[in-house]
Amino acid sequence: MQTTIVDDHTVSCHPTVDPLLKEKDQKDHEAIQTRVADQRSSASDTRAASISDLADLKAQTKRQRLLARVQFATLCWTMYLAGWNDGTTGPLLPRIQEVYGLNFTIVSLIFVFACVGFLSGAFSNIFLDSRFGFGKLLHYCLGSACQVIGYAIESAALPFPAFVLGYAINGFGMALQDAQANGFVASLKDNPEARMGILHAVRAGALSSPLVATQFAQLPHWSFHFLCSLGVALINTVLLVVVFGLKPQDECLAQIGQPAGEKGTSESNQFNQIFRLREVHLLAFFILVYVGVEVTVGGWMVTYIIDVRGGGASSGYISSGFFGGLMIGRVALLWVGERRVLFIYAVLAIGLQLVVWLVPSLIGGGVAISIIGILLGPMYPIAMNHTVRILPEWLLTGSIGWIAGFGQAGSALFPFLTGAISSKAGIESLQPLLLSMMAFMTVLWALVPTTARRTE
């Protein structure tokens, strides 16, 4: 045994220290075991919590996916209403002329007032979007409600000045909804190209309204067709209020798990930013001419078939064939929706338009018109998807709003010009007018830039 000598006293160290060391080691060991047990328990709890959180996340994702489908379906109904409106006028136009005793020029004021409404809505959209946001613009007393008011006026068959005023109010509301719906779908991260094609395929559901309008055109109460339109518009209003709930676009996107998009550094001056972009103006004029071709074919071709080809009262079904072709084209040709393929579609459509003009066959003309619809169908979604690729993200909704709203004015401007010229030169002038419009549309598309604008 070792000893230590301090002041002549011999002290034995180990008999006193050893028990203390053993007790301390035992306590340390117990503490370590306790900590390990706590850590294992904590890890077990964490794994359980992680599994629970993962299950909640999966459930939340399913809810978000379901809500995304509901939102998209609601916007599809909005675009169906727009297509319904586009397909209504053509079959009813000869009856409107007969009831009010109008020539081609005066009856074309329908398209003029609609054009005023579209342009007013397009300009207003840029200003009102930053103030009120997506939800209120889309359906709160501005968009869908304007269409309800417009159809209510038209269904009463009031004197012609009041009747065309209904078209202006309707056009204003449609421009707002068209702009916001296109902007919302373009902002989606989940396959926006396919969704844009489907959205406008549904819009080509205008094939259904000529079927109904053709029947009402032969009845004494022809204007009651607009009661059907009023019912579609009321359903649209209710759906938009329930699904979007007057929320801004970023909040609606957040509900489906998509973060807000990139923001610009000077959003307060968004109007000036948008109108300084050459791409925006080229795309807007392209859509203007494209929609003008689409609605001129759907609106005046029935009159042409009746007056020039000797078609009967059922000629309105040719309009359904054209809009049905639009719908098929936007679905069947969606997978080849490249920028360059649009030139091929345009050349083929021009060739078929020559067939309608030069071949005096009622059946052949009807088939050619339907195929023209198929070729024109994918052009609109191709243009919108190209817009997403070449414009800054923070200007996307406002830019697409202006492009879609300004372009929608083509559905009024070119049919009016067609009516004004036809009153002087006859409805036979429709075919060369359509050919020149298609050629001009192709030139405009060639001028649209192919690459994205570099932004700071």
pLDDT tens digit sequence for 88-121: 887 888 889 889 988 888 888 888 888 888 888 8
Per-residue pLDDT of 161-186, as tens digits, reads 999 999 999 988 888 888 778 878 87
For 113, the token pair is 């007032």
Q: What is the pLDDT of residue 1?
A: 45
Per-residue pLDDT of 237-279, as tens digits, reads 888 888 887 777 778 888 888 775 555 444 446 667 777 888 8
Query: Considering only CA atoms, which of 449, 160, 198 is closest in space to residue 327?
Result: 198
Task: Spell out the residues 6+ positions from residue 378 whose beta carbon is closer than 8 angstroms to its own.
Answer: 197, 329, 330, 333, 334, 336, 337, 342, 345
- Continuous H helices in 156-269: 160-186, 192-203, 208-216, 225-244, 249-255
440 exposure class (CB count in 10 Å sphere: 0-12, 13-18, 19+): middle
Per-residue pLDDT of 369-391, as tens digits, reads 999 999 998 898 888 888 888 88
Please check whether residue 200 is in contact with residue 79, taking contact to mean a CB–CB distance below 8 angstroms. yes
Q: What is the DSSP code (8-state) at residue 313?
A: G
Looking at the DSSP bridge assignments, the partners of residue 11 are 4
Task: Spell out the residues 6+ positions from residue 336 whose beta carbon is closer than 8 angstroms to its own.
Answer: 378
Looking at the DSSP bridge assignments, the partners of residue 12 are 3
Per-residue pLDDT of 434-450, as tens digits, reads 999 999 999 999 999 88
Q: How far apart are CA 300 and CA 391, in angstroms?
A: 35
For 309, the token pair is 């080809």
Q: How far apart are CA 322 and CA 296, in angstroms?
A: 11
- Residue 12 phi/psi, 5-degree rounding, is -90, 120
Per-residue pLDDT of 26-38, as tens digits, reads 655 565 566 655 5
**CATH numbers and ranges of domains, the chain:** 67-447 (1.20.1250.20)
Residues in the chain: 456
Q: How far apart are CA 114 and CA 168, in angstroms?
A: 4
Q: What is the pLDDT of residue 456?
A: 43
Please check whether residue 316 is in contact with residue 363, taking contact to mean a CB–CB distance below 8 angstroms. no
Looking at the DSSP bridge assignments, the partners of residue 9 are 6
Q: Report which residue type is found at 53.
A: D
pTM of model > 0.75: no
Per-residue pLDDT of 40-93, as tens digits, reads 555 455 455 445 544 444 555 888 888 889 989 999 998 899 888 877 887 888
Per-residue pLDDT of 332-345, as tens digits, reads 886 666 778 899 99
Query: Considering only CA atoms, which of 243, 188, 257, 247 is closest in space to residue 77?
Result: 243
Q: How far apart are CA 350 and CA 435, in angstroms?
A: 6
Q: What is the pLDDT of residue 161?
A: 92
